[in-house]
């Protein structure tokens, strides 16, 4: 039976550390969250982020915009927030309504306030191995692997995702840690031939039940980033948890695995931005 990688427990420890460090600052860090439209899932995510901020002593300002807003209007709001000294981080809740292009909006965020790590500046620095603000989910995954002492150096890590949010930044982080990385995606032929060779498998495809027990070996550590709500209202990951947990060495649950880690790392990024502001950087 696999050891469960308890992201909720580790996230609680990170938030405790953040609370302690926030109390030592001269002011409370500030996070601005921009939400466009009334997507139910996004509203839940924003509510959870606001609750996390309150728990850690971070001021969260929520900017709710209508679906009729233009990219230019969102970028103008971002530009205004870039100048506000009490705002250390700016987050645009994704996805935006289908007719809005997130790219110009995200690139309008000042790199120092890009707590999601999505700007070209931060993505580029990560790619060449320079210090940068790194996307929250990949950072949370690395933290969880380290917490459970799962060796990354020399490991073969297979990532089922080529996204700018998870797959690509995670590959850079793993390479920097000395791992050998294979990236798979929707166009990859014979996915199982790659997953069976993985020491560590990270799946962020958003396809429930994509990863089955016959696609894995007994020594594999599984990180399931995928999360989909079924017609029955239940949340499911990319991995068939019940059958897989009896075969592999480590596995994250869904929910309670990567999700809490992502939110905790966001708070850590906001804290670090506030610390840089206090130092005048």
Structure tokens at 50: 């606001």
Is residue 93 flagged as an active site residue? yes
Query: Smallest Cα–Cα separation from 270: which of 29, 34, 46?
Result: 29
* Candidates 6, 52, 88, 116; catalytic one: 116
Structure tokens at 269: 């990024």
Structure tokens at 181: 């990385």
Is residue 49 flagged as an active site residue? yes
CB count within 10 Å of CB 84 equals: 13
Is the distance from CB of 206 to CB of 227 less than 8 angstroms?
yes
3-class secondary structure, 36: strand
- DSSP code for 234: -
Give the DSSP H or E segment for 49: helix 40-56
* Candidates 49, 113, 168, 247; catalytic one: 49
**Strand 235-236 relative to strand 228-229: parallel, antiparallel, unpaired?**
antiparallel
Is the distance from CB of 178 to CB of 142 less than 8 angstroms?
no
Is residue 86 flagged as an active site residue? no
Residue showing tokens 């962020």: 204
Distance CA 148, CA 2 (A): 12
CA atoms within 13 A on the CB side of 58: 35
Is the distance from CB of 254 to CB of 208 less than 8 angstroms?
no
* Candidates 6, 52, 93, 247; catalytic one: 93
Distance CA 3, CA 188 (A): 29
Query: Smallest Cα–Cα separation from 204: which of 151, 249, 272, 259?
Result: 259
Active site residues: 49, 93, 116
């Amino acid at each position: 039976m696999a050891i469960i990688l308890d992201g909720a427990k580790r996230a609680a420890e990170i938030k405790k550390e953040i609370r302690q460090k926030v109390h030592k600052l001269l002011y409370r860090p500030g996070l601005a969250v921009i939400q466009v439209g009334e997507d139910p899932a996004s509203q839940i995510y924003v509510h959870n982020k606001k609750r996390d901020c309150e728990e850690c002593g971070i001021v969260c300002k929520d900017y709710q915009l209508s679906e009729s807003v233009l990219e230019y209007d969102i970028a103008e709001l971002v530009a205004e927030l870039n100048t506000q000294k009490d705002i250390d981080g700016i987050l645009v809740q994704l996805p935006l309504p289908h007719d809005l292009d997130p790219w110009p909006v995200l690139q309008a965020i000042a790199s120092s306030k890009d707590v999601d790590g999505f700007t070209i500046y931060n993505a580029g620095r990560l790619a060449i191995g320079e210090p940068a603000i790194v996307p929250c989910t990949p950072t949370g995954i690395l933290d969880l692997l380290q917490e459970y002492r799962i060796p990354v150096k020399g490991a073969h890590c297979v990532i089922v995702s080529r996204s700018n949010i998870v797959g690509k930044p995670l590959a850079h982080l793993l390479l920097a840690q000395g791992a050998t990385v294979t990236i798979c995606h929707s166009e990859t032929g014979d996915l199982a031939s790659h997953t069976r060779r993985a020491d560590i498998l990270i799946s962020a495809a958003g396809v429930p039940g994509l990863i089955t027990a016959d696609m894995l070996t007994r020594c594999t550590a599984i990180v399931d980033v995928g999360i989909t709500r079924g017609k029955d209202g239940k949340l499911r990951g990319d991995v068939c948890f019940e059958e897989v947990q009896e075969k592999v060495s480590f596995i994250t649950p869904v929910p309670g695995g990567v999700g809490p880690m992502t939110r905790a790392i966001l708070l850590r990024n906001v804290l670090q931005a506030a610390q840089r502001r206090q130092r005048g950087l």
